[in-house]
Amino acid sequence: MLKAVVNRCSLVGALMVALVAVAPLLAHAGEVLTVWSHEADEPAKVAFRELAARNLEKQHPGLQVKITWYEKGGLYTALKTALPAGQGPDVFYLEPDQTEYITNGYIIPLDTLVDWSKIYDWARKVWTIDGKTWGLPQEAYTDELYYNKDLLKKLGVALPPNAQFTQAQFLDLVKKARAANITPIAQGVGDRPYPGAYVLAEALLRKLGTDDYGKLLHGQLSYDDPRVVAVFTWVKQLVDAGAYPKNFMTLKLGESHYYFYQKPGALMLPMGSWYTGRAFVPVDKGGQPQDFPLGIMQFPAMDQGACPECKTLAVGASFAINAASKQKQLAAEYLNMMSTPDMGKRWIETVYLQSAVKTDVGAFSGPYASYFQELMARQQGAKYFIGMPIDILKGQCKDTFTQVMNSAFPGGLLPVDKAVSMMNQACYKK
Amino acid sequence: MTESWLSYVRRAPLLLFVILYTIATGGPFLWVALMSVRTTPEIFANPYAIPLRLHWDKFADAWTSSNYGTYFWNSTIVVVTAVALVTVIGAMAAHCLARYRFRGRRLVRLMILSGMVLPPQLLILSLFQILLDYRLYNTLTGLIVVYVATQLAMTVYILEGFFAQIPQDLFDAARMDGYSDFEIFWRITLPIGLAALFTTIVLNFIILWNEFLYAVVLLTEDTRRTLPLGIMHFMGGHQLDVGMIATGLMIAIVPVILIYAFFSETMIKGMTAGAVR
Amino acid sequence: MPYRHPTMTPPARSPELPDAHPAPRRKRLALSPVVVFLAPALVIYFGFIVYPVLRTFYNSVHVIQPRNVVQFVGLANFTALLETDPVFWKAVGNTAVFAVIGTIADVVGGLLLALCLYVKVPLARVWRVVWFTPVLMSYVVVGIIWVWIYDYDWGVVNLVLRWLGLGALEHSWLGDPQTALWAVLVTHLWKWLGFNMIICLAALYALPTEVLGAAELDNCGWIAKLVYVIVPMLRPTLVNLLVLSFIGKMMIFDLVWIMTGGGPLWSTETVSTYVYKRAFDWNTFDLGYPSAVAVLWSVIILVFVLLMTRLLSQRDKLEF
């Protein structure tokens, strides 16, 4: 029996030794501000946020700003576990569709903590709920239709002066491209819940106009509406004409970029304007070739559409302050550090993406200046709808959107009436 | 002569199958190995070609840019400790459940075994809370304890089924020779049950070495991350770069294969203890 | 009685268990050996498993409102689950098919592979090492490699089909709702067959050669030998493997998540992925509903496992 007791003691003893050895790691050394962020795979954004961290450290000697980089899935899981337990970082990345942090009281209003004079009003509005602003918008983007200028010329089609085709012209273009053995639209839904719905959702926006489109997304308009069905029918025609690649269902977002500008090459790529984050990097890291004839066209106008000049504008990456943070003031300083006009300019110049920070866009220079000019040209006269479908849809409706409008319908697996009825069942609140 | 010829012919389909299956099992790894020394443009040009230039620098690049050394070390500490603990604790519990009759035995047995069917996706939230309360959040110790707890049920299941089948005579003889309960456990059950022990050790090692969900939630500092998190992190950082992904995969695979190659004879001997061959 | 060194194949006698309160030659506290052996396991178990389980049960009969207010709803979650949740039933169907067919394929396949090596093919040691290698790999590695293998344009499967002239059979294996689940299953089997093979091999080596020799003399064909002699003798091992494999497949998550995320059109949605989505992906902190799903599913698995063990472990008494 003694042996048994001795053995047990040694076991417990070993455990205690391990605990003691690890304990020092538990204590914090000095002041630390913790940040959890996504987008570890975009070096420009990493550099941007780390720069803001170093700047803050310079202002506060003895402070250490620690950014932990996650993949999106890992970040959400970690947050969903940490926050209910009163833990988590001081500052974390989030996107506008994540209102659950607000409704559950895990983040604090930023009205008095952030210098809002430096942020665009429309961007602030995205995060304003019940009169309070809850998140700091950082990234802004629009949905654009990128295309290969040379391939378009090769097909003998000229872009209209307002850069927008009609429904019929677009369908015709798709058929011509297929006949010439060029994939019309490079798109893939292998690892994201939204890209397949770009053409469909943008068409719905232009057909319905901002008000009715908003109603549709909020479940107040039935998908049986003849205008909605008409749009679905047109998209089905595109799908049947072979608009999408054969491996549409499994092609990943990053791979679709490569498909478009490298191999095998496609005519068009509908994408958020954060396209640049993947395209404007060196070729051997997966970027587009230096001399790639990139063009931007508008999404096609719908017959009897209410708003051909409508575009989708959305806020992407944002940051919020943990309600349980013990250093809210310091956290707010980090947010402000990322939102100075200088940083806004740096964002545009290194990430090649619109920013929520007020910046003088005209002064932009650099190797991709002509791209930016074309991008700004496409924004002339645009009427914006704020928010992507997945930012607005929730719950079962969002899941069905991902499976139907994003994936199965453009993938050619569902007829129009089935798709419409599935969306109606999940989303329309009678 | 004809006889051995015939026996070869009769075996041809078998040999064909064996070779095909070996290609199916080993082929993918060989392919990844080849891709790991080619750059992405080369791969997309011809995915299955033999590399013309061996880009060994990719490995150095991957290793330095990704902190693999730390992750590897963390994984080693966590997994080795957890497997050792769960084997000892599980063996003791299995021995007790298998060889002693006492009130509530059935209940305890059912309780421990039902732990096998619990989905980790939900345990994690409550486990998180507990670790917080014990101040073990974001520590390797906390992860070790969680791993022991989650693997206990399966370990006890395998060992108990096995220990229960050891002939009673051995125990009776031992008792008559004056062995204490613990000595019986130590000198009879464990040595005879070595094959089953080996099996659980191997299985636990494999499962815990590759475990991902608990690690991503319970470890938030980069310096404490384990290897699977490191791999995911690496993959996430190189989404378009198939060549680098392959390199990262090779870095993850090679150590495992080396360790396995080194220990495989021992391991398989252990799992097939008592083989007459 | 000859002392035989057992492996996972047990000898024929059903053991009698000694009483925990032996007619003592030594005086000690009545329960002490049990307590000593069980205590560490039970401590860890109660501390780290029982509490979360109870918490999960608790959650399953509540709804977590915004601002952490918890509202008791009785069995509402369960009725909603069983009556109005089409995704849940699709997931159950997928998981059941995956588990049943997968388990049978897993164990039968493992046994066949073990037999291949048992009959002394040349270089058996080499094959044994290679075939076991996939077992060691993490799901991340396996998932990524097989997504490449199933790729429509440059994946091996489609290339081989084209090369064989069977181009018509090309599919987007992970993108077609008809094939996605089977594609994932093949990958899962690829990873785990090696493990079952090793266990079966160990069991085969422990079989007494006299019986096999006797079967030879009786001129049995090898199939008959397999079914009537070998399988019955390996029964406990096979039952063990069936149970472990079944549980593993009923709870499958990592591989599906990496390869398809539950798509396309929910054709690879499993109960675990659905639970994960409801708990972490839907824009809510409500754990009540996913807890209900998990509770229900755990009970179902437990029932099936108990049934399996009871049904398959009878008639264990072979004399040889």
User: Which region, left, alpha or beta, applies to residue C305 given φ > 0 means left and ψ of -120 to 50 means alpha?
Assistant: alpha
Please tell me the distance in Å from B197's CA to the nearest CA on chain A.
19
Q: Does domain A29-139+316-359 have CATH number 3.40.1010.10?
A: no
Residue B145 and residue B147: Cα distance in Å, rounded? 5
Residues of B engaging A, defined by a Cβ cutoff of 8 Å = 39-41, 44-45, 81, 88, 124-125, 128-129, 132, 135, 137-141, 144, 180-183, 213, 216-217, 220-222, 224, 229, 232-233, 236-241
**Which residues 366-395 on chain A approach chain C with CB closer than 8 angstroms?**
394-395
Task: Enumerate neighbours of A (3 or more CB pairs within 8 A).
Answer: B, C
Q: Are strands A136-137 and A318-321 parallel, antiparallel or unpaired?
A: antiparallel
Asked if pLDDT for residue A230 goes beyond 90, the answer is yes
In chain A, domain spans:
29-139+316-359, 141-314+370-427
**Nearest CA to C150 among C123, C190, C113?**
C190
Q: Does domain A141-314+370-427 have CATH number 3.40.190.10?
A: yes
Chain A residues with CB under 8 Å of B178 CB are: none
A362 DSSP 8-state letter = G
Q: Does domain C91-312 have CATH number 2.40.160.60?
A: no
pLDDT of residue A20: 45
Q: What DSSP string runs through A110-148?
A: -TTTS-GGGB-HHHHHHTEETTEE--EE-BEEEEEEEEE
pLDDT of residue C245: 92
Q: Among all residues of chain B, which has the CA nearest to that of A254?
A: B240
pLDDT of residue C13: 41
**Which residues 270-309 on chain C approach chain B with CB closer than 8 angstroms?**
271-272, 275-276, 279-280, 287, 290-291, 294, 297-298, 301-302, 305
pLDDT of residue B57: 82
**Nearest CA to A213 among A204, A203, A224?**
A204
Question: Would you call C118 an interface residue with chain B, using a CB distance cutoff of 8 Å?
Answer: no
Mean per-residue pLDDT of chain A: 86
User: Residue range B139-150: average pLDDT?
Assistant: 89
3-state secondary structure of B246: helix
**Nearest CA to A186 among A234, A252, A237?**
A252
pLDDT band at A362 (very low <50, low <70, confident <90, very high): low
Output phi, psi for A349, to 5 deg: -75, -30
Asked if pLDDT for residue B214 goes beyond 90, the answer is no
Residue B67 and residue B237: Cα distance in Å, rounded? 13
The percentage of residues in chain A with a pLDDT greater than 90, rounded to a whole number, is 47
Output phi, psi for A318, to 5 deg: -140, 170
pLDDT of residue A164: 93
How many Cβ atoms from other residues are within 10 Å of residue A60's Cβ? 13
Distance, C-alpha A301 to centroid of its chain: 24
Residue C60 and residue C73: Cα distance in Å, rounded? 9
Please tell me the distance in Å from C82's CA to the nearest CA on chain A.
16
Q: What is the CA radius of gyration of chain C?
A: 24
3-state secondary structure of B165: coil
Q: What CATH number has the domain spanning B67-236?
A: 1.10.3720.10
A356 and A139 Cβ atoms separated by less than 8 Å: yes
In chain B, domain spans:
2-59, 67-236
ipTM of the complex: 0.80
Nearest by CB: C68 against A104, A398, A404: A104
Strand partners, A93: A319
3-state secondary structure of C253: coil
Q: What DSSP string runs through C132-193?
A: HHHHHS-HHHHHHHHHHHT-TTT-HHHHHHHHTT-GGG---TTTSTTTHHHHHHHHHHHHHH
pLDDT of residue C287: 76
pLDDT tens-digit profile, chain C (320 residues): 333 344 444 444 444 455 454 444 444 445 577 777 888 888 888 888 888 888 888 888 888 766 666 788 888 888 888 888 888 999 999 999 999 999 999 999 998 888 888 877 778 888 888 898 898 888 888 988 998 899 887 888 888 888 888 877 888 888 888 899 999 999 999 999 998 998 888 888 777 777 666 655 555 566 666 777 788 888 888 888 898 899 989 988 889 988 888 878 899 999 988 888 887 777 777 778 888 888 888 888 888 888 887 887 654 433 22
**Nearest CA to B220 among A322, A67, A19?**
A67
pTM of the full structure: 0.81
From the number of C-beta atoms within 10 Å of its C-beta (0-12, 13-18, 19+), residue B112 rates as buried
Residue B165 and residue B150: Cα distance in Å, rounded? 25
- Cis peptide bond upstream of C264, omega within 30: yes
User: Residue range A337-346: average pLDDT?
Assistant: 88
- H or E segment and range at residue A35: strand A31-37
pLDDT of residue A410: 94
Task: Produce one character per residue of C146-156: b if its CB has 16 or more CB atoms within 10 Å, e if not.
Answer: bbbbbbbbebb
Residue A35 and residue C227: Cα distance in Å, rounded? 62
pLDDT of residue B274: 44
- H or E segment and range at residue C70: strand C70-72
Torsion of CA B274, B276, C5, C7, to 10 degrees: 50
pLDDT of residue A206: 94
Domains A29-139+316-359 and A141-314+370-427 share a fold: yes
**Which residues 160-219 on chain C approach chain A with CB closer than 8 angstroms?**
172, 174-177
pLDDT of residue C27: 42
Amino acid at position A141, single letter: Y
pLDDT band at B240 (very low <50, low <70, confident <90, very high): low
pLDDT of residue C314: 58
Asked if pLDDT for residue A62 goes beyond 50, the answer is yes
